[in-house]
Amino acid sequence: LLSLYPESAGIVTSDGESSQAFKVHKGMGLINHVFNADSLKKLYVSNLGIGHTRYSTSGISELQNCQPFVVETLHGKIAVAHNGELTNAVRLRRKLMRHGVGLSTSSDSELITQLLAFTPPLENDDTADWVARIKNLMNETPTSYSLLIMHKDIIYAVRDPYGNRPLCIGRLIPVGDMNGKGKDNSETEGWVVSSESCSFLSIGAEYYREVLPGEIVKISRYEVQTLDVVPRPEGDPSAFCIFEYVYFARPDSIFEGQMVYSVRRRCGQQLAIEAPVEADLVSTVPESATPAALGYAQKCGLPYVEVLCKNRYVGRTFIQPNMRLRQLGVAKKFGVLSDNFKGKRVVIIDDSIVRGNTISPIIKLLRESGAKEVHIRVASPPIRFPCYMGINIPTKEELIANRPEFHDLANYIGADSVVYLSVEGLVSSVQESIKARQESENSLKTQKSRAGKIGHCTACLTGEYPVELEW
């Protein structure tokens, strides 16, 4: 769907004692290119550090924009990693510059870092009250940000009051002997914080809990402690990005107590209810639409069959200028398992259609290889609006749902039929089990009350932004 190649990465570590002794390594490109044995060795000064991987978003791709940002303040160095995009960045930049701060990048992350350094009152400011500074920052800007702020031996994990971007905590499990046996699992070896829980297993950690919307969590070697929860304006529901479920997150990630894979399968099931079709088999555009396809197939009672196999070693596919080249590109990316569908009526589940440039040659390929009918079912609603909260969505003009072709989409992409999941269907697929759990679990009451009313940001689908946008 969207370009998701990491374009920069950085790690800052602290020795936990001196407020000056940060080790920093950042670079452009894939993580494996940025870090090697040497740079990792250089960084290894303690068990304390924060990192950041940047994907294509609105910031200009330059090394200078690489996170984490490190600045020296009157109270020592702080390092800040930020995920999100401030809806009032322009006003805040002007405010800082009026105060005499020169800003060296266009990134919101530098802005946040300087706001933390700057936050008044600064006269007679001989102690650094970082929590006050963080709350000050949160009062200046409502959304969207998940933050990690490191100072000496403390990491502060912060989620904006709307909870727009994810952030969760994992617990490092004791290793025991080299075969994983021994040691008591109930002990805690340390803590990790991440946007996505899926990364925990691979570093020997287990999912502990989410940082709540508005919550400021203090993480030290042995302790995870809630310092405060900054509330939203009265009546505003939370606004976790629904697009994380639909597209960005890995299927094995957990948000709001549910596995992304399960949400996607429910979307497929819901789609089967909303848009059934008489066909012989259900298949997927591998791999991201597979959970929805399995859900659709199961709900319909049709067999799930593979019609395309993904080719290894295919590099990034670029937008090709004509149908012929697009078709060759698709045939390079996917192998066609023609014996599996020759003479059959095929339902293809895709997770989204942005420009139609991929699905269209796939349909042509399937027909030429013998498919009798090709029906497209999209397991998410059409994207129509820009995101100002950190997701790099194509321009309004590029989105197929805003183009004239959309009125006769099946014909345009060459399908026998095409139906999208409704917004309501998506929201209910996402919220169904959250609501069920809220009702059944009394024990969650406290947290629920602190987290406030549950909602989701559907701005890219509906144009309803969780806060008023400032320019």
Q: Is 457 annotated as a binding residue?
A: yes
Rule CB under 8 A: say whether 305 interacts with a second copy: yes
Q: Looking at 226, 311, 317, 411, which residue binds a second copy (CB under 8 A)?
A: 311
Distance CA(303)–CA(300), nearest Å, equals 9
Give the number of residues in contact with a second copy, rule: CB under 8 A: 82
Would you call 255 helix, strand, or coil by DSSP? strand
Flag whether 198 is marked binding: no
Of the candidates 398, 372, 367, which has an alpha carbon nearest to the alpha carbon of residue 385?
398
Closest Cα to residue 113, out of 22, 179, 199? Answer: 22
User: How many CB atoms are located within 10 Å of the residue 142 CB?
Assistant: 24
- 8 A C-beta contact, residue 145 and residue 178: no
| H/E element, 218 | strand 215-219
| Shortest Cβ 414–a second copy spacing (Å) | 11
Report, in Å, the least distance between residue 162 CB and a second copy. Answer: 26
Site string for a second copy, 67-106 (x = CB under 8 A): --xxxxxx---x--------------xx--xxxxxxxx--
Binding mask 223-262 for a second copy (x = CB under 8 A): ---------------------------xxxx----xx-xx
Binding letters toward a second copy, positions 358-387, x by CB under 8 A: ------xx----------------------
For the bound state, the minimum distance from the C-beta of residue 351 to a second copy, rounded and expressed in Å, comes to: 14
Q: What angle do CA 278, 283, 286 make, to 5 degrees?
A: 155
Is 31 a binding residue for a second copy by CB under 8 A? The answer is yes
Per-residue binding string, a second copy, 152-181, x by CB under 8 A, is: -----------------------x--xxx-
d(CA 379, CA 274): 11
- In the numeric block, the tokens 């699905």 are attached to 359
Report the alpha-carbon distance of residue 89 to residue 112 in Å, rounded. Answer: 9
Per CB under 8 A, which of residues 442..471 are in contact with a second copy?
none
- Between residues 63 and 453, which has the closer beta carbon with respect to a second copy? 63
Binders in 106-145 for a second copy, by CB under 8 A: 110, 113-114, 116-120, 122, 125
Sheet of 373-378, strand order: 281-284, 345-350, 373-378, 417-420
- Is position 440 an interface residue for a second copy (rule: CB under 8 A)? no
* Residue 267 is labelled as binding a ligand: no
